[in-house]
Amino acid sequence: MSSLLFHQPLCLHQPLHRRGSPHALSTAGAFQYLKSVGSTCRILECNAAYKPHAEELVGAIQNELPDTKLWEQIVEDGTEEDDSIFLDSDKIRKQVQLIQSMLQSMGDGEITVSPYDTAWVAMVEDINSADRVPQFPSSVDWISNNQLSDGSWGDEYIFSIYDRIINTLGCVAALRSWNIHPEKSEKGISFIKANIHKLEDENEEHMPIGFEVALPSLLEIAKKLDIDIPYDAPCLQEIYRRRDIKLKKIPKNILHKVPTTLLHSLEGMADLEWDKLIKLQCADGSLLFSPSSTAFALQQTKDQNCLKYLDKAVQKFNGGVPNVYPVDLFEHIWVVDRLQRLGISRYFKSELQESIDYVHRHWTNKGICWARNSEVQDIDDTAMAFRLMRLYGYKISADVFKNFQNGDEFFCFSGQSTQAVTGMYNLYRASQLRFPGEDILIQAKNFSAKYLQEKRANNELLDKWIITKDLPGEVSYALDVPWYANLPRVETRFYLEQYGGYEDVWIGKTLYRMPYVNNNTYLELAKLDFNNCQALHREELRNLQKWSRNCSLFEFGLTDATLLQTYHIVSASVFEPERSAERIAWAKTAILVETIVSHFHQNHFSPHQISTFVHEFANTTSPNSGSQNNGSPRYVKKLKFSYKKFCSKK
């Protein structure tokens, strides 16, 4: 157990790795860090600070303590009030209620609008009208109402030239196709002209899904609409080159026969056999849940199921559409993961159980993807769901990962061109929940660990699916701390630094956000909860130190460092305020054992002396021992006194 002692619970609000460095400290290095930190601990910054009594802190979220009389007696001896403990129970209560309402309202997934996809929907002509009018006029309105101040469309808070260019070109094309808002079109064109050269320097890992085929398709539309942009720019020629290479690799016979990820980006392809493709629709009428691909299909086929899907999406998002919809499984899975790692899942037990139950209802032996009832599966969603369902007690076969194995390698999607860091990260996490005989998980762990270790060594921990605050830190923690050695409070303390809240952005065909997965409300509650638990832990440690002195345990070799390490193991594992009784009983028991063991070692007890001690101690502490042990050695008598204080009230 000593190998786990690399974090000190009372100082978990100090990060145990340097900012800017993705590597966690070694066990020895972390312990030295803890010793240097000592008691100079700072509280995580959050908008909360007032002083209750210690019992209020414990009772604020307490439901029921274990009904164990001995533990109750032990706890009572170690509980004192301290006005230095901070708590904002009213704010916690309000935030819990807010998050509960969010979780209880989860449906097909909350996701931000994609201007690019909305542009494709806006360009669809009314399939039932003899006049040339838009099928979705509210989508045209959405575009006209959501241009940014610099003339572009896209994520307002993160500037990615990939995202801004493809969104802006799509929206300009939509406005020009209906010959409206010329001033907005010109402003958008000016933005493209001034910024398109930046594509040459953009990080390739953050290129949106299908960008190299989607952008050329838009450029062809722009040419037909006489939109004046530099079509001969070197960066665009490079994208055309990539498009040609990618399209040559696409097996057209497979594309038209079975569902593949290619259905998600049909708007970038030509010479399609629509009578065959339309048979590969999802149950909701979409082409692999892509509004832009489905809008293109509607233009070509006037299919009523495509129309129904887009009608529903447009109404749901008030004219706009996201880059993918629905995202129900994705949302249900990732919400559970985020709340667990933030250390606040205990507030939402019923809601999270329902989320896991929902995912299980849509689980298949081939795995899942981001949405229910899909014929295409991916390893990222499958691995995350597999891990969480096993943690929640479901019997899930590891054979599901054979669907993502090719020889010794694992892939996210069949036919993928590049591997995703987060896909391998979640596969690595899932592979550790292994039962004997599950060789597929050994293979998955070896492959994913090697991939992640190589990426870390080369400083290449960038992902094609998410721009997050500290992905290198998340990956390094997983690699350095195996699941079996992970302590809940330690993981939470790291994740409080790694979780970006609403600033974390996902990468699809455009940048998008998942407000129920990444938001600042989770982070604020997690910080409040962590500080409250930490305050109680610090108070408990002070009381344990006082109790140890009163019991004369330091005379028998107990040290402050040993006491601190012992309490760390306890509080990092059983951290909840409502489990204070368990925590203190465990801590006192462990401290007493450590004291006796230390006494043996310091005094070089022989096996005979140890045996004598055990005999004398048993007789001394026996209820029927009376005064027969007056001749016991002094140390036995003193330990008898300590033991009685251990088991009784003051």
Domains of the chain: total: 2
401, 449 Cβ separation under 8 angstroms: no
Residues 283 and 416 in one domain: no
Helices 439-457 and 471-480, interaxial angle, to 10°? 130
58, 572 Cβ separation under 8 angstroms: no
8-state DSSP, 25: P
410, 453 Cβ separation under 8 angstroms: no
Looking at residue 637, its pLDDT comes to: 64
Residues 279 and 222 in one domain: yes
8-state DSSP, 125: B
Residue 257 lies inside a defined structural domain of this protein: yes
The string of pLDDT tens digits covering residues 320-346 is 999 999 999 999 999 999 999 999 999
Residues 402 and 357 in one domain: yes
In the chain, the percentage of residues whose pLDDT exceeds 70 is 81
Q: Report CA 193 to chain centroid distance, whole Å.
A: 38
Q: Which of 475, 497, 525 is the last residue of a domain?
A: 525
- Which two tokens mark 239? 């994208």
Residue 520 lies inside a defined structural domain of this protein: yes
| Residues in contact with 327: Cβ distance below 8 Å, sequence separation at least 6, in sequence order | 108, 109, 111, 289, 370, 371, 514
Residues 104 and 119 in one domain: no
- Which two tokens mark 197? 């050269």
Looking at residue 62, its pLDDT comes to: 33
Q: Which of 292, 316, 340 is the last residue of a domain?
A: 316
Residue 580 lies inside a defined structural domain of this protein: no
* Nearest to 45, CA basis, from 14, 21, 69, 7: 14
The string of pLDDT tens digits covering residues 368-409 is 999 999 999 999 999 999 999 999 999 999 999 999 999 989
Looking at residue 596, its pLDDT comes to: 85
The boundaries of the domain holding residue 516 are 89-110+328-525
CATH number of the domain bearing residue 473: 1.50.10.130
Q: Which of 318-332, 460-474, 541-555, 601-615 has the highest mean pLDDT?
A: 318-332
- Which two tokens mark 236? 């665009």
Tell me the sheet residues that pair with 287. Answer: 290
**Positive or negative CA dihedral for 166, 168, 174, 176?**
negative
The string of pLDDT tens digits covering residues 193-241 is 999 999 998 888 889 999 999 999 999 999 999 999 999 999 999 999 9
- Which two tokens mark 444? 């998955």
160, 154 Cβ separation under 8 angstroms: yes
Residues 280 and 150 in one domain: yes
- Confidence label for 620 from pLDDT (cuts 50, 70 and 90): low
Residues 370 and 436 in one domain: yes
Which of 56-60, 550-554, 595-599, 644-648 has the weakest average pLDDT?
56-60
Residues 475 and 391 in one domain: yes
| Residues in contact with 624: Cβ distance below 8 Å, sequence separation at least 6, in sequence order | none
In the sheet where 511-512 sits, what is the strand order?
Answer: 466-467, 505-507, 511-512
CATH number of the domain bearing residue 241: 1.50.10.160
469, 19 Cβ separation under 8 angstroms: no
Distances (CA, A) of 363 to 137, 246, 260, 395, 403: 38, 32, 19, 12, 14
Residues 436 and 471 in one domain: yes
In the chain, the percentage of residues whose pLDDT exceeds 90 is 69
Residue 541 lies inside a defined structural domain of this protein: no
One-letter identity of residue 329: L
Phi and psi dihedrals of 291, rounded to 5?
Answer: -60, -40
Q: What is the largest CA-CA distance in the chain?
A: 110
Judge if the upstream peptide bond of residue 326 is cis by omega within 30 degrees of 0: yes
Q: Which of 479, 494, 525 is the last residue of a domain?
A: 525
Residue 626 lies inside a defined structural domain of this protein: no
Tell me the sheet residues that pair with 405. Answer: 410
Looking at residue 254, its pLDDT comes to: 86
Helices 349-361 and 89-104, interaxial angle, to 10°? 20
The DSSP-derived string for 243-275 is: HHHHHHHS-HHHHTTS--GGGGGGGG--S--HH
Taking residues 285-289, what's their average pLDDT? Answer: 97
Q: What is the mean pLDDT of the chain?
A: 85
Reported as half-sphere exposure (CB side, CA atoms, 13 A), residue 329 has a value of 26
Residues 349 and 216 in one domain: no
Residue 361 lies inside a defined structural domain of this protein: yes
8-state DSSP, 578: G
Number of Cβ within a 10 Å radius of residue 383: 29
389, 359 Cβ separation under 8 angstroms: yes
